[in-house]
Amino acid sequence: MEELLQKIEVYKAEIAAFTGSNTDEVEAFRIKYLGTNGLVKTVMGEMKNVPNENKREFGQILNNFKIFVQDSYDILKEKTAETENKIEHNFDWSLPGNPVVVGTRHPLNIIRNQIVSIFQKIGFAVSEGPEIEDDWHNFGAMNLPEDHPARDMQDTFYVNQNPIWLLRTHTSSVQARVMQHQKPPIRVICPGRVYRNETISARAHCFFHQVEGLYIDENVSFADLKQTLYFFVQEMFGKDVKVRFRPSYFPFTEPSAEMDISCLICESKGCNVCKHSGWVEILGSGMVHPNVLENFGIDSNKYTGFAFGMGVERIAQLKYRVNDLRLYSQNDIRFLKQFMGVV
């Protein structure tokens, strides 16, 4: 019994000396003294060994001990809640926040958006379509029948044979869908990713990005084509830019022309970008082939149209002097970071 009294004194001293001040420590205190297997329970268990004549006296001592522990715990709990609250309230809200790392817009998206906004200014709508196409929308409707030699230049990846599903080689397939569902006048540009079966190098990749345009109405002429594309390059490259058209061939246009702009890098004095010619090629264009119009039930005697297609990589290369196409898709942070803040 003496022993029990001594134990209680030791616990009391321990409790009085307890300095824990955070929630975890106070919880450990509760478990140690007041838990299901805690010391208070153990001490109480000793009651059964106390002789009957002392039970009353001891009962009171033990009860007081229990109240002491409970009170100590309550005080500790209140104190920690207070200090932890204080820490919260003492927080300096004027401190700068953690920096949020924002990415950068991809150069191809920057250029694509610029191209799209320029054409939107002069009344072109924007259309998008699927990257997996059927043979008709990608080739057939574009005056490229099966076995046509021009298909060689646009070999692609075949997803399925019979029926043929392939990765589109140009966004003309989107314009095909527009012609299928809309009547002239049609004035649309189609940005998107396209695919070609090419060996990957600095100058060729198995996918690239295009913006194609199509304008069909009565009395649309080659003069409209020239003026529209001239407006575009002036907006894109500045008022000083000169243009020239060279005859070319595309199965879906007749006549066809490629457009060059004066080399802005050397001001046409001659450099390796323009291969010392003073001119750089930027797009292909032409008057929509009557067969293409008739494929969609558009009367080619009543309506004419022009179309053009450009590679976004090519325009970005001229604007940002990117000399290796592969940089666009390698996700090299050192390359991408250079476009920080450009929108």
Residues of this chain that interact with ligand 2NL (CB under 6 A) are: 172, 175-176, 210, 212, 214, 250, 252-253, 284-286, 288, 292, 307-311
3-state secondary structure of 69: helix
CB nearer ligand 2NL, residue 195 or residue 250: 250
DSSP-derived secondary structure for 299-343: -TTT-EEEEEEEEHHHHHHHHH----GGGGGS--HHHHGGGTT--
CA atoms within 13 A on the CB side of 105: 11
Distance CA 284, CA 248 (A): 8
Would you tell me how many other CB atoms lie within 10 Å of the CB of residue 60? 10
Q: What's the closest the beta carbon of residue 140 comes to ligand 2NL, in angstroms? A: 12
CB nearer ligand 2NL, residue 11 or residue 258: 258
Q: What's the closest the beta carbon of residue 142 comes to ligand 2NL, in angstroms? A: 6
Q: What's the closest the beta carbon of residue 319 comes to ligand 2NL, in angstroms? A: 17
CB nearer ligand 2NL, residue 110 or residue 176: 176
CB nearer ligand 2NL, residue 65 or residue 308: 308
Q: What's the closest the beta carbon of residue 143 comes to ligand 2NL, in angstroms? A: 8
DSSP-derived secondary structure for 179-207: HHH-PSSEEEEEEEEEE------SS--SE
Cα dist from 193 to 49, 204, 250, whole Å: 88, 14, 20
In the complex, which residue's CB is closest to ligand 2NL?
309
CB nearer ligand 2NL, residue 38 or residue 290: 290
Would you tell me how many other CB atoms lie within 10 Å of the CB of residue 187? 19
Place of tokens 């990749």: 205
Q: Which amino acid is at 322?
A: V
On whether the CB atoms of residues 154 and 135 are closer than 8 A, the answer is no
Q: What's the closest the beta carbon of residue 204 comes to ligand 2NL, in angstroms? A: 13
Helix (H) or strand (E) holding 41: helix 39-45
Residue 147, C-beta contacts closer than 8 angstroms, at least 6 positions apart: none
CB nearer ligand 2NL, residue 68 or residue 231: 231
CB nearer ligand 2NL, residue 69 or residue 186: 186
Q: What's the closest the beta carbon of residue 263 comes to ligand 2NL, in angstroms? A: 19
Q: What's the closest the beta carbon of residue 179 comes to ligand 2NL, in angstroms? A: 7
